[in-house]
Amino acid sequence: MGKTAIVYHSSHHGNTKKLVEAVAQGHDVTLIDAAAQKQADMGQYDLIGFASGIYGGSFHPDVLDFARKNLPEGKRVFFLYTYAGLGGAKSIAAAVREKSAAVAGEFGCKGFNTFGPFKLVGGTSKGHPDQADLENARRFFEGLL
């Protein structure tokens, strides 16, 4: 097994961080917070994950910018995300395609959301990601290894 890194952005309720930490547990994985670290030498990693909540149908700009600036050509990548409404990795997939990356897979699950009008009703997807979501994410990741 080669070296793995996961570049993530997690805000609001820490949903994405829960997902990333669950996946990394028990594995040699370097976690890079894209909000705190804008660049890194990613050449040493064989597998690179990008993780974010979905904001207006897209990965967080910090993660997209990190991928565009730091992802070396031809790397094997995967995506993790939490979402309230519709999930998807189109934005990050387009960013890594520019670097001829090989997409190994993606995993998404619901995440607790109190953004905008959802705050008025106490939020949506309370309790997510839950233990089942985290276990499914771990299985997904181990399948990539």
Mean pLDDT of 27-45: 96
The ranges assigned to domains in the chain are: 4-144
Question: Please, what is the average pLDDT of the chain?
Answer: 89
Q: How would DSSP label each residue in 109-135?
A: EE--B--GGGGGGT-BSTT-S-HHHHH
Q: Give residue 59's pLDDT.
A: 95
pLDDT exceeds cutoff 90 at 77:
yes
Q: What does the pLDDT read at residue 75?
A: 97
pTM attached to this predicted model: 0.90
The pLDDT of residue 102 is 96
pLDDT digits (tens, 9 = 90+) for 84-137: 876 689 999 999 999 999 999 999 998 865 556 555 556 555 666 999 999 999
Average pLDDT, integer, range 69-81: 97
Residue 56: predicted pLDDT: 81
Give the burial string for 120-130 (b: 16+ CB within 10 Å, else e): eeebebeebbe
pLDDT, greater one: 117 or 18: 18
CA-to-CA distance for 39 and 67, rounded, in angstroms?
Answer: 9
Superfamily designation of domain 4-144: Flavodoxin domain (3.40.50.360)
Overall average pLDDT of the 13-36 stretch: 94
